[in-house]
């Protein structure tokens, strides 16, 4: 299909409009409506329309930080399972997905890459026992109009000592939304340590608009 194909141009524009809508969210209800509408075409829009590289990059980074491929890993804000697709390629076999959108979880369930799925809101307390997971990963969750830095403390609560947490954080929000400050507090309290923060693009050919991070539960 050539670059001048009108169908491809329409698909690319549709992808960009949905991404713009995602970045302009202001409430949880707005987010639920977006992902309800987007669930069926999410993978196509992100991977084909926008050349989304984030899931593969963060899965590769996580695989370097966690060598045990059989211990339980929590995929936070898992959506349709794009990150888990790449974790499976890296031979992870015990992945649990967590997301607040039932429609996105329904798409993820069809991929058969998760041991089970959890419908939950990261802005609330998770019904998960302390130290339940040997690792956690998240891509695209800490971005415009989505989950704020207050969720980090709860995420580290459910991680075992020494567990890595790989995640992306939108660079524009690092300071303005308080992500850097919240992480500094957790590090100062010896909740976790910061191992790696790389500035890289989420989308092929774009500027380095994401911070790709590895944190470690202490």
Does 128 share its domain with 202? yes
The residue segments making up the domain with residue 60 are 54-217
Residue 99 tokens read as 């997301």
Residue 130 has pLDDT above 60, yes or no: yes
By three-state DSSP, how is residue 26 classified? coil
- Written in H, E and C, the secondary structure of 29-97 is HHHHHHHHHHHHHHHHHHHHHCCECHHHHHHHHHHHHCCCCCCCEEEECCCCCHHHHHHHHCCCCCEEE
Q: Identify whether residues 61 and 42 lie together within a single domain.
A: no
Q: Write down the pLDDT at residue 1.
A: 42
Residue at 1 is within a domain: no
Q: Is the pTM higher than 0.95?
A: no
Distances (CA, A) of 177 to 114, 131, 132: 31, 27, 28
Number of domains the chain contains: 2
Tell whether the model's pLDDT for residue 187 goes beyond 90: yes
User: Which position has the higher pLDDT, 19 or 164?
Assistant: 164
Q: Which two tokens stand for residue 2?
A: 């050539």
Higher pLDDT, 25 or 188: 188
Residues 128 and 148 in one domain: yes
* Residue-averaged pLDDT of the chain: 87
Work out the number of other CB atoms within 10 angstroms of the CB of residue 180: 16
pLDDT of residue 51: 87
Q: Are residues 30 and 102 in the same domain?
A: no
């Amino acid at each position: 299909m050539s670059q001048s194909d009108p169908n491809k141009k329409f698909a690319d524009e549709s992808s960009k409009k949905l991404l713009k809508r995602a970045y302009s969210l202001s409430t949880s209800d707005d987010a639920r409506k977006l992902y309800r509408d987007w669930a069926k075409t999410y993978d196509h829009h992100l991977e084909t329309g926008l050349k989304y590289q984030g899931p593969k990059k963060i899965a590769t980074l996580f695989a370097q930080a966690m060598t045990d491929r059989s211990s339980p890993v929590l995929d936070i804000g898992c959506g349709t399972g794009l990150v888990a697709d790449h974790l499976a390629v890296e031979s992870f076999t015990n992945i649990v997905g967590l997301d607040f959108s039932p429609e996105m979880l329904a798409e993820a369930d069809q991929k058969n890459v998760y041991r089970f799925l959890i419908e939950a809101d990261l802005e609330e307390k998770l019904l998960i026992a302390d130290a339940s997971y040997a690792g956690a990963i998240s891509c695209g969750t800490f971005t415009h109009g989505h989950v704020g830095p207050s969720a980090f403390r709860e995420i580290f609560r459910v991680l075992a000592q020494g567990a890595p947490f790989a995640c992306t954080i939108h660079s524009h929000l690092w300071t303005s939304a308080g992500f850097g400050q919240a992480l500094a507090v957790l590090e100062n309290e010896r909740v976790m340590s910061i191992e790696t923060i790389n500035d890289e693009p989420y989308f092929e050919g774009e500027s380095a608009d994401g911070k790709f991070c590895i944190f470690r539960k202490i």
